Amino acid sequence: MSNTLGTIFKITSFGESHGPSVGVVIDGCPAGLPIDLLHIKTELLRRRPGQSKITTARKETEEFEIISGLFEGKATGAPITIIIANSDARSKDYDHNTNVYRPSHADYTYQEKYGHRDHRGGGRSSARITAGWVAAGAIAKQFLAHSKIKIQAYVSQAGSVKLETPYTQLNLNQAENNIVRCPDVNVANKMIALIEATKKEGDTIGGVVSGVVSNMPVGIGEPIFDKLHAALGQAMLSINAVKGVEFGSGFEGVGMKGSEHNDIFTAGDKITTQTNHSGGIQGGISNGEDIVFRVAFKPVATIMQPQETVDELGNSTIIKGKGRHDPCVVPRAVPIVESMAAIVLADFVLRARSTTFEG
């Protein structure tokens, strides 16, 4: 099972949804980096379950412990190990699917691949493990801040409700002012109403999280197999429920002509482009413009309605979701998207330092 991401700034994830804890080991964090523990806690609380009426009711305190790699408030250069306790798991909520496969979950594929599975919330396949990723991302963000690189994500679509306003015309800081994390309050209210109505039906919806990376230097990324957008895409597609990622113009770009899509350079002391259809990445390498991307999340697979399925012997049966689940994951996915982007960018910034000779 592959649980490690990165080359220099590298994370290894561990833990299960209903085990005693989840967490992460960070290798390659530069020695001497000041680590703000309050920032880590703040990021974890942004991701935590039970934070609003449109998220799962599971209550986690997100208390964490760093057991290695930190001394006197700074990274030592040794692996940083962060453990986050699971304090509110209710395993009995999953007794009904001990031998039954939940539709669109990883139950069947895990059973076939490993010959054994943890039916309690999906075990390793649960989004609960992303808590460790967010903790690692909080440290990656602190590293990137020294280069003034800033990552902001927000909900741009929930079900059929879509935010049409370009991010350049929005105050992205406003996203944290409402429970759905959409920077337009009017659109946010429509999203919240849709999520609440869907929850009452015992159903779920998907959505889109948009990300913007500002103050990016030119030259980050590799030109062939480790293209920057390929690495970011891998990280995003590793997040539970993600089904699609696009950069810049994305799929809409196929309807444009080259004369319309090309990002024309602007002359000056600092070379910029008039448009950003490339999404800040050209040839797999950052060009200094904002990196702009969108991440599509499918509807949550657990619904509170009866569904046809099969048991481990292939017999037809009926299953209905129980327990506490998100009717829409995108509000809580915002800090996860930011964190995964930060982990990748921290890694690539460190890799870039070994690219050219400094005489």
Confidence of residue 254 (pLDDT cuts 50, 70, 90): very high
Rounded to the nearest 10 degrees, how much is the dihedral formed by the CA atoms of 104, 178, 49, 5? 70
pLDDT in tens, 104-139: 888 888 888 888 877 777 778 888 999 999 999 999
DSSP summary character for residue 218: B
- Return the CATH superfamily for domain 4-352: Chorismate synthase AroC (3.60.150.10)
| Closest C-alpha among 328, 322, 58 to residue 193 | 328
Amino acid type, 84: I
Residue corresponding to tokens 């990376």: 213
CA-to-CA distance for 285 and 79, rounded, in angstroms? 29
Confidence of residue 70 (pLDDT cuts 50, 70, 90): very high
Return the bridge partners of 71, or none: 74
Residue corresponding to tokens 């999953």: 94
Are 161 and 191 within 8 A, CB to CB?
Answer: yes
CA-to-CA distance for 210 and 170, rounded, in angstroms? 12
Query: Over the chain, what is the mean pLDDT?
Result: 92
Residue 234 class from Cβ within 10 Å (0-12 exposed, 13-18 middle, 19+ buried)? Answer: middle
| Closest C-alpha among 342, 314, 344, 337 to residue 100 | 314
For residue 192, is it left (φ>0), alpha (ψ between -120 and 50) or beta?
alpha
Tokens representing 80 are 């940083």
Note the pLDDT of residue 58.
Answer: 64
Name the maximum alpha-carbon separation found in the chain. Answer: 70
Between 50 and 211, where is the model more confident?
211
CA-to-CA distance for 132 and 135, rounded, in angstroms? 5
Note the pLDDT of residue 48.
Answer: 87
Please, what is the Cα angle at 305 between 303 and 306, to 5 degrees?
120
pTM beyond 0.75: the answer is yes
Spans of all domains in the chain: 4-352
